[in-house]
Structure 1
Amino acid sequence: MFDSLFADASDEAIVGWIERSAREEARICARRSAAIAELVHRHVDEDDERGGWVFDPWAATAAQVGAALNIGQRKASGQMHIAVALRYRLPKVAALFTDGVVGARVVSEISWRTQLVEDPAALAQIDDRMAACAVGWGRLSEQKLKSAIDAVIERFDPEGLRRSKEIMRARDIHVGASDDPHETAALWGQLLASDGRLLKQRLAEMVGALCAEDPRPAGERRSDAMGAIIRGEFHLNCRCGSPDCPVPVQASRSNAVIKIIADQAAIEAAHALIEQDDTTAAHNTAAAKAAAEAEAEKVFATTDSAGDDRCEGSAGSGTAALSESPTTPGNSAAEDPAAPEEPAAKAAEDAEREPEPQTAEDAVTEVCEPPTVEDGAAGSGGLVDRGAALGLDGRPVPIALLAEVIRGGAKISALTLPGPEPEPRYRPSAALAEFVRMRDLFCRFPGCDIPAERCDIDHTVPYPFGPTHASNLSCKCRGHHLLKTFWYGPGGWRDEQHPDGTLVWTAPTGHRYVTKPGSRLYFPSAAITTADLPPPPTPPPGYAAGTLKMPRRRRPRAADTAARNKAERAHNAEQRAQQQQRAQELRRAREQRAREKKLQQEQPPPETGADPPPF
């Protein structure tokens, strides 16, 4: 149906449908924002004593919004901020949104960039001007849209501008960026100059200790050396593959343990890639060595033939044999004995293998295999299933990176399915905790994507009423763990767990949300179903909340927001005063130069003291 819906329509009709659909989409988004604003109005009160809780009424409301929209807590809170701004701060912009005249992108940017405006009169003027101008803003690029909004704010409240924060602050180190590929992580920052020189020297020493036949480019060697330093090591193992390599092989000494879950097909594919790379490296090293020896024989034979005519025939034949493979700088390893391979061989290898990964994780790594998975098999078109591998942060691990961690000595172990008997204590054992984290992979609240390695392991039925068993344990981020503990029971949230790890959440409104273990996304056939437990006794109402205390904020959320806005406005005022001062200084300097130039022009020319010649 999708491909035939507009099959008979003209281009004009199709474009008309697109325009009408965009307006209707805006109207629907406006109704959604109005509903969110009403929910906030009903459940978030600044006078609520729970406003000092870490997981306060705003966060509890965001949980309802996030579950309904299947988005995370942060995004849900952002939708609430937009809805509240439209309801209380920008009524004229909200009216345009409701009519479908402006879209969600424009409304979102306006609500964000006007958050620092506090004066009601200025806000009303900004709202009025925005409503008059925003109709045509949907066609603007992101930067032009921001500039147009800021121009209106600058007119009525210059200190209410959202200014870009300074990129370069004090010294800092950043790891990872949003656009990083799966196999590498960006690393940037600032060090003391002395530390920078020391790091550069250390990297040079580690890279320089490798033999000349190591196939990695210089930049990749430095990257691997940096990864080794992070693991607490100051030695790089050579990759030449030669048994005669002078660089000794050293085992990893890192105490860090990185968990990777992979099925059997992925592990076999990684081993095959290791074998292929080792074979290629050994072949290229042998070929380079043979070419170097042949070149040396050629030089010797040529020199010998110049002094002894009896060797002319053999020397000539040797030269002829070598001339069949031209020794130009671009295509012969004999020209450069340190070259790891000929271009043709390298191109074939590059086409065969995936991009070579950074080895920052090949220290002490454990690769866990799910209890039971189907092996990779040829599918339609002769394609082979290479399996799947991923870390506990939920990020896929490419086969090339899996091969690297296995090459680095990673321990491969099968993930053990827990037995039917529960454990006798509150805190799960290391093996049970590992199974639960690798089964769930993420926080089990609807829409939340916090990795399991950063989550708490929660008893679905509170201990001691519910046992410490995989069928009663699930991963929850700290926020949703607090939600389940302190916003639980009648009128709150409830969750029910099934032996296969499925969680059924019931919201305060009675809406039900089902979440499946994250491992089902990547390993659908893995055997993760555990024992079916007998019905537990019902905990008394408020049991957990009565025995534990909710962590408290240093100050309520509203006071926090007000303090941040005040600080940013003060910073804007300071920057504005400095700009005005610099402008005044420049103006005074220009005026001074103009006065000096005028005085020079008004002064008579100096007398030289010489009389003019007589005529």
Structure 2
Amino acid sequence: MFDRSSLLEPAELSAVSDDALIDAIAAAARASAAADARRLAAIAELALRRCGDEDDERHLWVCDPVASAAAEVAAALNIGQGRAVGQLKLAALLRDQLPKINALFLAGSIDYKMVNTLRWRTLLVSDDSVLAGLDAGLADSVVSWGPLSEQKLVQKIDALVEAVDPDAVWRLQVAARGRDISFGDRDDKTGTTSIWGRLLASDAAIVKQRLDAMARGVCKDDPRTLGQRLADALGALGAGSDHVACQCGSPTCPAGADDKRGSSVVIHIVADQNAVTAQPDPALHGQGPLAAPAHESQQLEPETQQTEADPAPCAEPEARPLPASAAVRRGVGVILGGAIVPAPLLAELIRNGATVRDVSTPGPDLEPHYTPSAKLAEYIRMRDMTCRHPGCDRPADLTDIDHTQPWPHGATHPGDLKCYCRIHHLIKTHWFGDGGWSDRQLPDGTVEVTTPAGKTYTTKPGASLLFPGWNITTTEAPPTGKPPSPPDRTGLAVPKRKRTRAQDHAYRIRAERERNAALITQAQARAEKAKALLAQRRAASTRNAPHRSEAAAPTPQEGDPPPF
């Protein structure tokens, strides 16, 4: 068990030796690993209480007990639903199938990253006795492996799995089936979003060739670097364009045609008035130092002079002075559920054709029908900006609009409407009553969510956090009647699964193992065939070779090279 007495307080660090300081770093790392293990142990116990009854018919619901338990974990840890489901699965695996590894984890001897890797690389092992042997073998070895890169760790684990269960090793084909594209990282710089992923090699070559051709299709006066043009070309490709618009500023540039980035695809951006009226900023493009502020230099000097050998540039572009620094700092836009869009970037989108429309605050009257009008729905989405469940960042334009008091006993009114993604909407709608979920909404859009454990979490509308000057408080939703008590609260059928989550997991594991077994059988058959063919060729070569006596062998002569 980890000894907490080895931890040093921050005030003690300045008085210790370098050796003790390194020991303090290692001790803190062990404490962090042990804390992670205890978090997962608590999650495993919650999963047992919420999901342990295998006969519960709700396991066939789309919003099954795992989804409801994951929503509790997501609220407690302020994480998304998908990550919370992953934590539930890992916690149950450690407790039930890898107890010796779990003991090392609880002692702080191995960290979360190694545990998660162990989980994935042993996921296809279906025999409990084999898994128990792997658990014991890995527990005896993993600490002595020392620091390993992720690739070396995977190789070590796969070698052990290969020795006891060849069908359980992830094969090369998994790389192709694992292709994916991901957007966004916590370290993304303001106004930008990172993108990474894996494509088939042929698709990657096609995309690279197309982007390169688009990026090089502008005139020589375009201020952007090649890398910036490649990035913009990807956005234009996503908008359905076959070119990227030149930004030289000349009205006669043949490459200046609209590339649809500002007009083709609908992206909802909430922005204040200062951001909408800002001017584009030329400093967004190009390389090297930024131009001097306007108060230091009233005229920008050209970086290069045209020579006779240079190709003729397009017509002289209109002057585009840098906006005042104060104007650049004022105003902001936010993509629903996404990144900040600074005012200069928003101004460039508007210049390229983006539509600007005011979001008006709805009046005090309720609407006499279940589905909110387009105007009211737009206001709710712009106010909330994301799903309102704690920890969920699902963009509001991809969510349902939920009546906090269920219709028809709740009003179609901004004081009773909010955004929930589909899974959290289903959980709220069908997991209600004693030991279920409930929520409460205030006139300013604040939502208080109460979990089955009785914990209450408060979420604020995104607009109140990012646009404090926007008054989003409306009148309180008028009561329309007393809600019915369960189980007749909604009268709505629960969406069902074809098989339970556990059955689906077993099916996928079995299918992957069968693919692996077929690949191994095919490889063995090819090896046997190649071996037999080689033996046939050797036999034929022996029969057809001329026979020669030892006396007929050539005698080495002086000066001949050695028989290397």
Q: Cα deviations across residues 293-335 of structure 1 (Å, max 9, x unaligned)?
A: xxxxxxxxxxxxxxxxxxxxxxxxxxxxxxxx9xxx9742543
Correspondences of 1:441-452 after superposition (within 5 Å): 441-452=385-396
Q: Kindly indicate whether the alpha-carbon contact (under 8 Å) linking 1:262 and 1:390 is maintained by their aligned counterparts in 2.
A: yes
Give the equivalent residue in structure 2 for 1:43. Answer: 50
In percent, how many aligned pairs have the same letter? 43
Question: Residues 381-530 of structure 1: matches in 2 within 5 Å?
Answer: 385-530=329-474
> Partner residue of 1:73?
81
In the alignment, the residues of structure 1 paired with residue 28 and residue 202 of structure 2 have an alpha-carbon distance, to the nearest angstrom, of: 56
Identify the residue that residue 315 of structure 1 maps to in structure 2. none
Amino acid at match of 1:100: G
Q: Which amino acid aligns with 2:270?
A: I
1:352-391 correspondence runs (5 A): 385-391=329-335
Matches within 5 A, 1:530-609: 530-534=474-478, 537-542=481-486, 546-595=490-539, 603-604=547-548
Secondary structure in structure 1 of the residue aligned to 2:267: strand
1:29 paired with 2:36, answer yes
2:365 and 2:307 map into 1 onto residues whose CA distance is 64
Q: Note if 1:99 corresponds to 2:107.
A: yes
SS of the counterpart of 1:504?
A: strand
CA shift in 2, pair 1:534/1:177, >3 Å? closer
Cα distance, 1:82–1:214 mapped onto 2, change above 3 Å: closer
Distance between the aligned counterparts of 1:112 and 1:553, measured in 2? 25
Pair 436,119 (structure 1): closer, same or farther in 2 beyond 3 Å: same
CA distance in 1, matches of 2:108, 2:547: 71
1:318 aligned partner: none
Q: 1:476 Cα shift?
A: 0.5
**1:156 maps to which of 151, 164, 175:** 164
CA contact (8 A) 1:333 1:340 kept: no
Q: Does 1:335 align with 2:276?
A: no
In the alignment, residue 515 of structure 2 is paired with which amino acid?
H
Q: Cα distance 1:192–1:156, how it changes in 2: closer, same or farther (>3 A)? A: closer
Q: Distance in 1 between matches of 2:275 and 2:405?
A: 36
2:440 match: secondary structure: strand
Secondary structure of the equivalent of 2:402? strand
Partner of 2:295: none
What per-residue deviation string (whole Å, max 9, x for no partner) do you get for residues 117-158 of structure 1?
111221121111011012134621111111111111111111
User: Which amino acid is 1:22 matched to?
Assistant: A
Distance 1:546 1:409 in 2: 44
Letter of the 2:374 counterpart: A
Whichever of the two has the greater Rg, that structure is: 1
Q: Secondary structure at the match of 1:411?
A: coil
Q: Secondary structure at the match of 1:155?
A: helix
Moved more, 394-403 or 119-128: 394-403
Distance 1:247 1:212 in 2: 11
Q: Give the Cα–Cα distance (whole angstroms) in 1 for the partners of residues 395 and 329 of structure 2.
A: 26
Partner of residue 266, structure 1: 275
Mark the CA change 1:579 to 1:517 in structure 2 (over 3 Å): closer, same or farther.
same
Letter in 1 for 2:372: P
Distance (Å, rounded) in 2 between the aligned partners of 1:236 and 1:405: 14
TM normalised by structure 1 equals 0.72
The answer to which structure has the higher helix fraction is: 1
Q: Distance in 2 between matches of 1:92 and 1:337?
A: 72
After superposition, the Cα gap between the structure-2 partners of 1:123 and 1:200, relative to the gap in structure 1 and judged at 3 Å, is closer
Q: How many residue pairs end up in the alignment?
A: 518
Whole-Å separation in 1 of the counterparts to 2:356 and 2:78: 35
| TM-score normalised over the length of structure 2 | 0.78
- Provide structure 1 residue ranges, at least 5 long, that are not aligned to the other structure: 278-324, 354-375, 609-615
Deviation digits for residues 201-243 of structure 1 (CA, Å, limit 9, x no counterpart): 9x88x997x7776666788778767766765667876644345
| Structure 1 residue 524 displacement after superposition | 3.6
AA at the equivalent of 1:513: Y
What is the deviation of 1:83?
A: 1.4
TM-aligned CA deviation for residue 165 of structure 1: 3.8
Letter in 1 for 2:388: R
Q: Measured at CA, do residues 377 and 130 of structure 1 come closer, stay the same or move farther in structure 2, by a change above 3 Å?
A: same
Q: Please tell me whether residue 110 in structure 1 is matched to residue 54 in structure 2.
A: no
Q: CA deviation at 1:424?
A: 2.2
2:65 aligned with 1:57: yes
SS in structure 2 at match of 1:6: helix
Give per-residue Cα distances to partners, 1:447-490, cap 9 Å, x unaligned.
11211111101011112222112121111010000000000122
Contact 1:183 1:401 in 2 (8 A): no
Deviation at 1:497, TM superposition (A): 1.0
Q: Deviations over 1:530-589 (max 9, x none)?
A: 223456644122266541011001111111111100110011111112222233334344
Say whether residues 1:20 and 2:30 are aligned partners: no
**1:224/1:48 CA distance change after superposition, 3 Å:** same
